[in-house]
Structure 1
Amino acid sequence: MCAVELSDLACPCCQQPTWRLYTDIERYVSEHLSRDITLKELANRFAYSPNYFGVLFRDQVGVSFNDFLVDMRMKRAKEMLATQRFKIYEVADLVGYKSLTYFTRMFKKAYGMTPGDYKKLG
């Protein structure tokens, strides 16, 4: 029997989803972050109706597709800002935000600081 921490069982959001499509979805989203990715587009790609796919995604992953997408974009932005190679507006564009103001607002909501402040830390 494998040793499992009780806290791991209590926090489903901390576990990697076991849905067999999850890896393909994650890869697709990661490869297309700079584009405007929609639930409808993803549902069509994997041959589901958008409504069913949205419900299935939330049930299997534990968060809405939109929250998943924002989280992936913010993680990629954080990685890019840490390298110091990119300007903030370039990072925003590369992770799919056409509005620098909106990108800054989303980054601050996710990490408690602006992208500029985070970049200064690195």
Structure 2
Amino acid sequence: MPSLEKLLALLPSPAHPLAGRRATTLVLPDNIACFCRRSASGLNRPQRGRALHHRFVLMLALRTGVTVRVDDTDVSLGEGKGLLVFPFQFHDYMDARREALQWLFITFDMVNDGSLEALRYQPFDITPDMVRIMADLVAVYLKTGATADDLTTLLLALLLAHIKRPRAGARKRGQSPAASTLAGGRAAGGPGLMTKVNELAEERALPPSVKEMAAALGISASHLRTRFRESCGVTIGRHVRWLRLEKARGLLRLSTRRVSEIAEMCGFSSVYTFSRAFHAAYSVAPLEYRKGAHIQPRKSTRRR
């Protein structure tokens, strides 16, 4: 980048000194949390199923590459690369090239205005400019006070602007059926309801019933079913069933628990019921999946 002195020489005199550039509509991140992972074995903790967040997760592989499975897509995240995981995307980690690593994670809330969609499933290069912003961000994050909080927000917004700048014209590709359904829910005005349902499902070891969720939301079960179907494009029963199956899928990959135990943990009445539901959803039996069988696209669990 040219020096400040050279850049100053390029500045033109403004036609109207009191009329300058105005800010466009700006969407800022909020509720920001930063942390670092230094070992590959620590990435998949806790091992209670694939991670599901209602927040954005920005992962920056500063040292050591790892394959990240996001929904049904394997993303090779090499050293010096970053990846943005969107709200309600399941993800876990595998095939670390070395045990020792250095990954910066930044999780945050933000209204999805569509400007980040080109980054879905797409790793990006970590540039020197991004590294400088990350250093400033972490330094400010380690401080306390309202000023530090505001600066953290602004620095993350700047980092995101650098990340999406070279990919502004990129086409969205590789979207899984689950991601498409969730995107459809957002387009139809359903993020608030889906967020609450997912949060309620995450709070308990076993997914709550529709009646329990309706009671927690202060509405009737029939009203919840109707609103969820209209706003999210899928019945709430199928959505919760999908959450249970995805949790089971993570436990099959990330733990050594017996299939019968996993079935019980995920709310299935029997191992037979679980195996039948798993095969119907992924076209592979649970034990075959654990052994490394390839999963086919989801069949009926996300249909209307």
TM range (shorter): 0.7 to 0.9
Separation in structure 2 between the aligned mates of residue 118 and residue 6 of structure 1, nearest angstrom:
28
Separation in structure 2 between the aligned mates of residue 63 and residue 79 of structure 1, nearest angstrom:
23
Which 5+ residue runs of structure 1 have no aligned equivalent? none
Partner of 1:97, secondary structure, is coil
Map 1:65-76 → 2, pairs under 5 A:
65-76=236-247
Are the aligned partners of 2:193 and 2:228 in contact in 1 as well (CA < 8 Å)?
A: no
Percent pairwise identity: 23
The RMSD of aligned alpha carbons is: 2.7
How many Å apart are 1:85 and its aligned residue? 2.1
Q: Taking structure 1 as reference, are residues 82 and 30 closer, same or farther at Cα in structure 2, changes over 3 Å only?
A: same
Pick from 8, 12, 25 the counterpart of residue 197 of structure 2: 25
Deviates more, 1:25-34 or 1:76-85: 25-34
Q: Normalising to structure 1: TM-score of the pair?
A: 0.82
Separation in structure 2 between the aligned mates of residue 26 and residue 40 of structure 1, nearest angstrom:
15
Kindly name which structure, 1 or 2, has the bigger radius of gyration based on alpha carbons: 2
- Residue 56 (structure 1) aligned with residue 224 (structure 2): no
1:113 is aligned to 284
2:268 is aligned to 97
How many Å apart are 1:48 and its aligned residue? 0.7
Partner of 2:267, secondary structure, is coil
Are the aligned partners of 1:107 and 1:113 in contact in 2 as well (CA < 8 Å)?
A: yes
1:4-60 Cα shifts (integer Å, max 9, x gaps): 96988xx9625163432322220111232525x221111111011111111001111
Separation in structure 2 between the aligned mates of residue 115 and residue 93 of structure 1, nearest angstrom:
14
Separation in structure 2 between the aligned mates of residue 31 and residue 66 of structure 1, nearest angstrom:
17
Q: Normalising to structure 2: TM-score of the pair?
A: 0.35
- Residue 40 (structure 1) aligned with residue 211 (structure 2): yes
Q: Taking structure 1 as reference, are residues 57 and 14 closer, same or farther at Cα in structure 2, changes over 3 Å only?
A: closer
- Amino acid of the residue matched to residue 281 of structure 2? A
Separation in structure 2 between the aligned mates of residue 21 and residue 54 of structure 1, nearest angstrom:
11
The aligned length equals 119
Separation in structure 2 between the aligned mates of residue 81 and residue 41 of structure 1, nearest angstrom:
28
- Amino acid of the residue matched to residue 31 of structure 1? E
Q: Taking structure 1 as reference, are residues 68 and 115 closer, same or farther at Cα in structure 2, changes over 3 Å only?
A: same
Separation in structure 2 between the aligned mates of residue 117 and residue 108 of structure 1, nearest angstrom:
10
Separation in structure 2 between the aligned mates of residue 104 and residue 97 of structure 1, nearest angstrom:
9
Are the aligned partners of 2:263 and 2:269 in contact in 1 as well (CA < 8 Å)?
A: yes
Separation in structure 2 between the aligned mates of residue 87 and residue 12 of structure 1, nearest angstrom:
32
Are the aligned partners of 1:92 and 1:99 in contact in 2 as well (CA < 8 Å)?
A: yes
Partner of 1:107, secondary structure, is helix
Between Structure 1 and Structure 2, which shows a larger proportion of strand residues?
2
Q: Which has the higher contact order (CA 8 A, sep 6+)?
A: 1
